[in-house]
Chains A and B, each alone.
Chain A
Amino acid sequence: MILIPKDIFSKLTFLIGGSNYISNSPSGVYNYLGVEFLAELSKNLLSQKDIRKYPDVATFAFWCRNSNLKKITHNPFNNNLRVGLGLVYHNSPSNVPVNFAFSLAFGILSGNSSVVRLSSKESESASFIVTALLELLNISKYIEMKKTICIIKFDRDDEVNKFWMSNADGRVIWGGDITVAKMRSYPCKPRSREIVFPDRFSLCVIKASKIIESSDSNLNKVCENLFNDIYIMDQQACSSPQLFNWVGNDSTIKKAKDRLWPLFLKYLQKKHSLEPVQYMNKYVDACINAIKNDNIKSINHENNVLFNIELSYFHEQQQLQRGYFGTVHEISIKNLNDLSLIIDDRCQTLTYFGFEVEELKNFITSNKLRGVDRIVPVGKSLDMGVIWDGYDIINHLSRTVDVY
């Protein structure tokens, strides 16, 4: 057990928990109680009638449903004993509120106690999940779980950060470069482990010829997938695609674009609208972008739900040329290999359409790329999993006891 000193305790607001002790005794990886708890949480969330209002919460709930947990925990080949590290501290992000729940779930699955700091920004999605967690933790069979989950808020404070960093056996730091650097500045236990999520940049590659060859119904499916990638998280997640790379010769690309984008816009107009101020924000961003960056060739926005920003060449710092709420930066390249110019260790997710997986794997290895941690089809950019950002998270947050 870890005692939270009075001066630290008084600075914390507890959303879940509230005892001045928090357990740091590990449980087994994929321990029965933890898995059952998450499965029940999923059931409870999905059965609430308001769930439709929160697609991000629904995604989380769907992810931790019983059948998916079974898939994750199924590991027939390993006789080793795996147990948690003890106490894991999570600094959760504000741009994707629901990630605090994924982070907590990773902590539970890996057999750890978790202290989760929520962003000071209010989020309805986060509150929705916290309420469901609270209800579940009050059921007597989860009394042991109760000692291992603590969800808190506090104003930025060196002493509090220092306390958690010096007591945590593992830390999961979301929130980008600045937060990662800040949290690393605190001393931590010699054997503590870390998982950090700094700023990342994500891309999409589309083989133009495959768009032309696609049937109308297939293209509608592509639109739905693009919608999921671009609009569900407003392009604010690190895995949200920022730069769309059309691969092919100029005339094929032109034909492909002329086919896809009008269809996509039609799909969007039926499905999605933004707050008026967001249209304005996108517009102003695009104007500033146009003035400041010579690599912008043209900007199209027939409807403000979608801005297409065509680039004539890569920006020196392409990862900084970003857009939100449906701002598609796009560029034409002859060959997949042209893309290697801008891929460095900051590049996270590569979504693809029209490519074979082998082609893409080969692209990563033959160009000896330092980046790309995920290669997934369009539509899957936001699918969170226990492998993320290049980490096998459950492995990283647990120790393997070698047994033979």
Chain B
Amino acid sequence: MIDIKKYSTFSLTQPEKEVFLLERLNNLTEFHLENCPEYFSLISKFRVASSKAKNIADIPFIPVRLFKHIDLLSVPKNTVIKTMTSSGTSGQQISRIYLDKETSAFQVKILSKILSDFIGPKRLPMLTIDCKSIISNRKKFSARTAGVLGFSMFGRDVEFALDDDMSINFHRVTEFLEKYKDENILIFGFTSIIWRHFIEELERLEKKLNISNGILIHGGGWKQMELQSVTNEEYKKRILDTLNVKRVHNYYGMVEQTGSIFMECECGFLHASSFSDIIIRNPENFHLKGIKQNGLIQLLSVIPKSYPGHSLLSEDIGEIHGIDNCKCGRKGKYFKVYGRLKNAELRGCSDTYT
């Protein structure tokens, strides 16, 4: 495993970062080619670049949806300690991601590096906007479970704001806020759950909270928000109105690359850390797109070793806004995500009867 302590999280310029990324990612490609027969078969049949890519754009990628169809792992099955699954909200098949000890530990390390850049190196009292039962089944990990558990490691005295029926437990919330009123606290939850079960609920009850000492981090996708036509700006504004929280950070990430998340900075852009990157591709031919051109997001991560997920082509549409020059001071690429590919009418060969 690489010693990540040597690398700063957000201060490497893109060229500096790519030297490090390229070596690590090439090693991962080679490792997966040797250890995952399905990956080998796929890469060789598509006749794409070998494990000797000269540029991060030449690192072979596979579609993230593949994990929904095929079990892919590069370590013996008996070394798997955790299986993570995608949320599968749309009733579709779910992804299965197999983690061994090494990859699992690496996820925590990287996530910690990234988060500490936003909340500081110390653990903060953490208020989770979710119910406790979400973490009861420890062997099977949904994205929500993984998120809550993953972030809990960077908080302390974790409290849950919601009861199992997803209603707000005001007793617990006020007690928590009173107890930690003199220090920074971390508020964490899923974008849509915070919205529906906390913000909208507080608004309905005409209640406001004053958590000016809070840092709110949320992720899990904008799909639900988009359906309600809620923009990121609106989201932040309503959080400020009801909770008086000024520091709100969305993050972008996926269960297939847990750990190396992309955090939203103070200027409203998502940032790739030194341990991950994104590349924008044209859906029509997978050719590279330039800055300020939108296309499919390919995600690179140095983490995935127990499964071939270090280079994934997602179905999300995004746009790189710049490199190394975000006003927040962080180096590397900064970008925005605009949502999923629109699901066109699938005609399929299914018949009238079914």
Interface residues of A (CB under 8 A from B): 91-95, 117-121, 156, 174-176, 178-179, 182-183, 199, 234, 236, 273, 275-281, 283-284, 287-288, 290-292, 296-300, 302-305
Contacts of A234 in B (CB 8 A): 347
Is B70 interfacial (CB-CB < 8 Å)? yes
**Known A275-B342, A298-B47; contact A291-B351, beta-carbon cutoff 8 A:** no
Find out whether the CB atom of A290 lies under 8 angstroms from the CB atom of B283.
Answer: no
Closest residue of chain B to A292 (Cβ to Cβ) is B70
> What would 10 more interface pairs be, CB under 8 Å, given A119-B352, A278-B344, A284-B69?
A94-B350, A95-B350, A95-B351, A174-B351, A176-B349, A234-B347, A276-B284, A276-B296, A277-B342, A288-B69
Task: Say whether A303 contacts B352, CB under 8 Å.
Answer: no
Closest A residue to B48 using CB positions? A299
A276 pairs with B341, CB closer than 8 A: yes
**Contacting pair A92 B352 (CB below 8 A):** yes
Dominant SS at the B interface?
Answer: loop
Query: CB-defined interface of B29-44 with A at 8 Å, one 1/0 digit per residue?
Result: 0000000001001100
Annotate B320-354 by CB proximity to A: 1 below 8 A, 0 otherwise: 00000000000000000000011110111111111
Report chain B residues within 8 Å CB of A182.
353
Residues of B within 8 A of A (CB): 38, 41-42, 45-47, 62-63, 65-66, 69-70, 283-286, 296, 313, 315, 341-344, 346-354
Query: Separation in Å of the B134 CB from the closest CB of chain A?
Result: 30
Q: Are A178 and B351 CB-contacts (below 8 A) given A291-B38, A302-B285?
A: yes
- Nearest to A276 among chain B residues (CB) is B283
9 shortest interchain CB distances as A-B pairs:
A175-B351, A276-B283, A275-B344, A179-B351, A179-B353, A290-B45, A277-B341, A119-B352, A303-B285
> Which residues of A are found within 8 Å of B63, using beta-carbon distances?
280, 283-284, 287
Chain B positions within 8 Å of A304 at CB level: 283-286
Q: Check if B62 sits within 8 Å of A236, measured CB to CB.
A: no
B45 touches A298 (CB 8 A): yes
Whether B285 pairs with A290 at a CB distance below 8 angstroms is no
Question: Are the CB atoms of B45 and A296 closer together than 8 Å?
Answer: yes
Q: Give A120 to B346 CA distance when docked, in angstroms.
A: 14
In angstroms, Cα B47 to Cα A196, docked, is 43
B196 CB, nearest partner CB in chain A, Å: 27
> Which residue of chain B has the shortest Cβ distance to A233 in the bound complex?
B347
Chain A hits for B69, CB < 8 A: 284, 288
Could you say which of A117, A183, A283, A299 contacts B45, with CB atoms under 8 Å apart?
A: A299
Q: In the assembled complex, how far is the CB of residue A200 from the closest CB belonging to chain B, in whole angstroms?
A: 10
Residues of chain B contacted by A121 (CB below 8 angstroms): 347
Q: How far is the CA of A276 from the CA of B315 in the complex (A)?
A: 9
CB pair A290 B286 closer than 8 Å: no
Query: Bound state CA distance, A311 and B296, in angstroms?
Result: 29
In the bound complex, CA of A156 to CA of B341 (Å) = 31
- Report whether A117 and B352 are in contact in the complex, using a CB–CB cutoff of 8 Å: yes
B348 touches A287 (CB 8 A): no
Query: Could you list 16 examples of A-B contacts with CB < 8 Å?
Result: A91-B353, A95-B349, A120-B352, A156-B354, A178-B353, A178-B354, A179-B351, A179-B354, A276-B283, A279-B283, A280-B65, A284-B65, A284-B69, A287-B62, A287-B66, A291-B42
Q: In the bound complex, do residue A277 and residue B352 qualify as a contact, i.e. CB atoms below 8 Å apart?
A: no
Q: Give the docked Cα–Cα distance between A26 and B323 (Å).
A: 75
Whole-angstrom distance between the Cβ of B287 and the nearest chain A Cβ = 9
How many Å lie between the Cα of A275 and that of B343 in the bound state?
A: 9
Q: Which residues of A contact B38 (CB under 8 A)?
A: 291
Chain A residues with CB under 8 A of B354: 156, 178-179
Check B70–A288 contact: CB distance below 8 A: yes
Closest chain-A Cβ to B26's Cβ sits at a distance in Å of 21
Cα A288 to Cα B65 in complex, Å, equals: 10
**Pick the contact of A236 from B45, B283, B348 — CB < 8 Å?**
B348
A291 engages B70 (CB within 8 Å): yes
Chain B residues with CB under 8 A of A176: 349, 351
Measured in the bound complex, the distance between the Cα atoms of B348 and A199 in whole Å is 13
- Bound together, the chains give a CA A6 to CA B15 distance in angstroms of 75
Inter-chain contacts of A183 with B (CB < 8 A): 353
Measured in the bound complex, the distance between the Cα atoms of B43 and A299 in whole Å is 10
Whether A305 contacts B284 by the Cβ 8 Å rule is yes
Chain B residue nearest to A297 (CB atoms) is: B45
**Given A120-B352, A280-B65: A236 in contact with B347 (beta carbons within 8 A):** yes
Nearest residue (CB) in A for B66 is: A287
Task: Give Cα A277 to B344, complex, Å.
Answer: 7
Q: Are B344 and A95 in contact (CB under 8 A)?
A: no
Residue of A174, A236, A279, A298 near B352 (CB, 8 A) is A174
Residue on B with the closest CB to A177? B351
Instruction: Check B347 against A95 for contact (C-beta < 8 Å).
Output: yes
For A290, what are the chain B residues with a Cβ–Cβ distance below 8 Å?
41-42, 45-46
Q: With a CB–CB cut-off of 8 A, which chain A residues contact B286?
A: 304
Point out the residues of chain A lying under 8 angstroms from B353, CB to CB: 91, 156, 175, 178-179, 182-183
Let me know if B47 and A175 touch, CB within 8 A: no
Min C-beta distance of A174 to chain B, whole Å? 7
| A299 contact set on B, CB distance < 8 A | 45-47
Report the bound CA distance from A296 to B46 in whole Å. Answer: 10
CA distance A364 to B40 in the complex (A): 40
Chain A residues near B41 (CB-CB < 8 A): 290-291
Which residues of the partner chain B approach A178 to less than 8 Å between Cβ atoms?
Answer: 351, 353-354
Which A residues touch B285, using CB under 8 A?
302-304
Could you tell me if B66 and A288 are in contact, using CB atoms closer than 8 angstroms?
Answer: yes
With most chain B CB atoms within 10 A of its CB, the pick from A119, A174, A288 is A288
**Chain B residues, Cβ within 8 Å of A92:** 352
Chain A hits for B350, CB < 8 A: 94-95
Point out the residue from A277, A284, A300 that lies within 8 Å of B343, measured CB to CB.
A277
